Every structure is written in structure tokens, then in C-alpha cells.
Amino acid sequence: MTVFKSCDIRGLYGRELDEALADRLGRAIATRLPGSRAVVGQDLRESSPALTDALVDGLVASGARVTRVGTIPTPTLYFAKRHLDCPIGVMVTASHNPPQYNGFKVMMGNLPVQPADIQGLEAEMARGAFWDEGPGHVETADLLPAYLAALKAAFPELLPRRVVVDCGSGSMSTVAPDLLADLGLDVVPLYCQPDGRFPLRDPNPAVPEHLTDLGQRVVASEAELGIAFDGDGDRVIFCDGRGRVQPADRTLVLLIRHLLPMHPMGAGVVYDQKASSVVAEETAALGGRPLREKSGHAFIKRRLIEERALLGGEISGHYFFATIGGDDALYASLALLSALDALGLSFRQAIDTVSEYPITPDIRLSASPEQARAALAEIRDALVLHPIDHLDGVRVAFGDGWALARLSVTEPLITLRFEARTSRRLRQIMTLVRNASPTLQQLWNR
């Protein structure tokens, strides 16, 4: 599979991407926006310094004026791009992927990149016709203090709850615990020693099995809340006082309940199409506009900006806010704590008020692209009497549930997900969809 994904560039360091690719990428980005200012940050993976050096060399060689902001969480890079008013931003990171991976999150202009932008950079790199009318220059800046000051200004008062903060040895390790403590929280740190090898837990917190230690620490320390960040600090997953990992879509409902009543009727909430129906139901009940979007950070962020929506969320743990024009896991943590303060509830009490429907995790079946496309066509044709949308794959609505089938953009897979009001109905919908596609039946039964 190519390292050029739908919205970023990512692969195995040394095998799929290296310093030569980073240099060409820098030249291609600077060629797209000649003479522009660029801000560049990096996560703490062992390969990030070398890749960042090569990227900056390429940017400068093609005329960009680069500000390096060092090893920081990805949300700090987003803040730095806004703060410095730079057209270009690049974060060297593989986000939640294992340590042997690395990559680049690219920002060009005020909207997130689209697949066509990534494809354009790939083509530009292949052609090698880079802007070379004179070198740019590079400087360094420390934007972390300004970023933390902005967070403190946005959330000046929080109740003194006890929280366990699990940074997974990632980029939030030296940032989140200190900030939360400065704001009056009783912080119990867990895996907050920075280490780009991620030796203590997997950097993806959206998999509940990766947060077993967090749940146990929450219970043992009698904390009210567990907060788990991913490798580069742009995703966050929360654990309640019972040590139970809570899905991001249910947590999003608490933010919806807190923020929507403060804004005019019709404020938009963008949500991942894999999220539970409870998100759309709660949004509509409060007079908001539910805006379903395809899965993917860049897609949801772009929709948030274009629709001037209030809030957005993805089941992977990304939370998006109009107030900052995008996502930030630490901002989301503070927003949730602020919401709980306003509700006068613990996280456990608040989350127990959110409806929970039977829903499957992603069901991932190995399939060639031809098999996957055949299965989608068969589902579409057999269930044509039901409402179907093709935002990303085939999503079939059944009134009391839904089914989603889509092609993976990174692996030879077809991915399925189902939800219904009852467990019995969930099983019926799953059977109905399987029976609708002979190809899917073969893949499922292998």
C-alpha cells in the first residue's frame, strides 16, 4: 500500500518512507506555495528528528520561510500555525501508529487537505520540478507557553477533581499533567515519561484493551476520571470512575448537552458516520443540526469549518471545536471537565444518563478491492428499498438501526459496522446484510 493516504502521509520508517522522501515532500509543498511561511513540529518518535531535518531542508531549498517549533503535541502545531498566521504547517508524526511508523500531517491554507491535495503532492514529488528561485530561511520558536496560556484563558476555573492522566509515553507527557495540576486538578500520572518507543502501552487509546492499566489505576486511586492521550496528543479517550472505558461518541453527547444550549438554534454538530445514532438524536432534541460525515480527521474538520458548525467528534477520539477551528485532545479534556462542572455530576453519573444502543465494533474482513466493490454493489442492489447513502461506502438505514460497509483506504479489507435498538434486532440486521451479498458471505465465512 502507498504511504500517500487520503489525508496524510504515513508508513514504516526506513522501508516505506525516509529522509529522501521527506526532502522531496518539503520541496513539493514549498513549490505549491512559493515564498510562503511554514511552521514545522515533530513528535518524539526516534525517527522524527532526522525526518524533520530533511523536510525543513526541502522546504528551505524551494524558498519557504520556516519556523521550527520543536518536539510538541500536534495540537500545539495547530495553535502555532494559527498564532503565526502561516499558510503552511507540517507535523512529523505517525499519530497513534506503532513506533516503527512515521509520517507527515500536512496543512496548506486554512482548510484541511483533501485526497486530491495529497495526490497532487505525490505527483509533484514524482515530477521533481521544484521551485528553485532562491533559498528560504529557517528560525526556531517556542510556542508551547503561548499554547498553554491560551488553554488556561479558555478554562480559568475547574473544580478540583481527582483524575488519572495516561499519556502513553507520548507527546502530552510533559504537557497535560502539569497543565491540569495548574488548573487545580488532583492529577495521578500514568505513563507520563516521554519515550518515542512507547514501551508501556500502545499509542492508540481508542482500543479499550490498551487502557486496562488506566482503568485499574482509576479504581485503585479512587479517581473520578481517566484521561488517555494518543502518541501525538490529538486524540483522547476517557475512562469513568468504575474503570470503564467510554466510547468517544457517548462522551461527545455530554459536550453536546453542555454547549448546544449556549448557542442559537440550528448550530451544527459534525459526527463520524460510524458513531451511534444517539449523537444525532441528542443533537436534534436540543435544536441542533446533526451533520454526518465520512470517517477521517480531515473530513470532519473541513465539514466543521465549511458548515460553521459548533462541535464535531470522531469515534477514534478526535473532538473538534468552532472556538479553535479544529481539534485538540487537551482542549477537549478541559471542555469535558467544564461540562461536568456545569452539570454538577461526576463523569460516571453523567455518562450513565446517555443512551447506549447495541453496536458492533468495526468488523474487518480481508478482501481484494474487486471483492470489496462486488460486496458493496450486492448490498446496495439487494437492499434498495431501504434508505441508502454513499457518503463513504454503503450505509443502509432500517429505522431502528443501520448497517455500514466500506472499503479500507489503507489495507485490503472491507469494514462493516452495525447498530440497532435491541440486541435481537442487531442480529437480524447483521443477518439481513450478510444474506444480501454472496460475496460478503464468502468473506465472512472464511
Q: Answer yes or no: do 307 and 373 share one domain.
A: no
Q: Answer yes or no: do 370 and 433 share one domain.
A: yes
The answer to whether residue 35 is domain-embedded is yes
How many Cβ atoms sit within 10 Å of the Cβ of residue 256? 26
φ and ψ at 95, to 5 degrees? Answer: 55, -115
Q: Answer yes or no: do 226 and 313 share one domain.
A: no
What CATH number is attached to the domain comprising 124?
3.40.120.10
Q: How high is the pLDDT of residue 134?
A: 77
d(CA 336, CA 366): 37
The answer to whether residue 3 is domain-embedded is no
The answer to whether residue 152 is domain-embedded is no
From the candidates 95, 276, 316, 408, which is the catalytic residue? 95
Least confident of 151-155, 169-173, 294-298: 294-298
Q: Answer yes or no: do 46 and 120 share one domain.
A: yes
147: nearest Cα among 115, 179, 188: 179
d(CA 443, CA 375): 9
Q: Answer yes or no: do 108 and 66 share one domain.
A: yes
Q: Answer yes or no: do 82 and 40 share one domain.
A: yes
What digits encode the pLDDT tens for the residues 67-103? 999 999 999 999 999 999 999 999 999 999 999 999 9
Last residue of a domain, one of 196, 228, 246: 246
Q: Mention every residue, 6+ apart, whose C-beta is less than 8 A from residue 377.
A: none
How many Cβ atoms sit within 10 Å of the Cβ of residue 370? 9
Q: Answer yes or no: do 252 and 235 share one domain.
A: no
What digits encode the pLDDT tens for the residues 298-311? 999 999 999 999 99
Q: How high is the pLDDT of residue 6?
A: 87
The answer to whether residue 155 is domain-embedded is no
What CATH number is attached to the domain comprising 380?
3.30.310.50
- What is the DSSP track for 200-261? SS-S-TTSGGGGHHHHHHHHHTT-SEEEEE-TTSS-EEEEETTSPEEPHHHHHHHHHHHHGG
Q: How high is the pLDDT of residue 382?
A: 96
**Sorting pLDDT into bands at 50, 70 and 90, what band is 142?**
very high
Answer yes or no: 95 catalytic. yes
Q: Answer yes or no: do 254 and 321 share one domain.
A: yes
The answer to whether residue 358 is domain-embedded is no
Query: Which letter does DSSP use for residue 262 in this model?
Result: G
- Tell me if 210 sits within 8 A of 180, measured CB to CB: no
d(CA 443, CA 446): 6
The pairing of strands 363-366 and 413-420 is antiparallel
Q: How far is CA 23 from the centre of its chain?
A: 26
288-294, long-range: CB within 8 Å, 24+ apart, which pairs?
288/256, 288/260, 292/391, 293/391, 294/391, 294/392
The answer to whether residue 30 is domain-embedded is yes
Range of the domain at 45: 9-142
Last residue of a domain, one of 246, 262, 289: 246
The answer to whether residue 373 is domain-embedded is yes
Answer yes or no: 96 catalytic. no
Q: Mention every residue, 6+ apart, whose C-beta is less than 8 A from residue 363.
A: 415, 416, 417, 418
Provide mean pLDDT across the span 183-205: 97
**Sorting pLDDT into bands at 50, 70 and 90, what band is 411?**
confident
Calculate what percentage of the chain has a pLDDT beyond 90: 92
Q: How high is the pLDDT of residue 265?
A: 86
Q: Answer yes or no: do 101 and 178 share one domain.
A: no
d(CA 239, CA 230): 14
- How many separate domains does the chain show? 4
Q: Answer yes or no: do 268 and 240 share one domain.
A: no
The answer to whether residue 127 is domain-embedded is yes
From the candidates 10, 161, 235, 250, which is the catalytic residue? 10
Q: Answer yes or no: do 205 and 261 share one domain.
A: no
From the candidates 32, 201, 318, 417, which is the catalytic residue? 318
- Report the mean per-residue pLDDT for the chain: 95
Last residue of a domain, one of 351, 375, 402: 351
Q: Answer yes or no: do 110 and 220 share one domain.
A: no
Answer yes or no: 318 catalytic. yes
Provide Rg for the chain, Cα atoms: 22
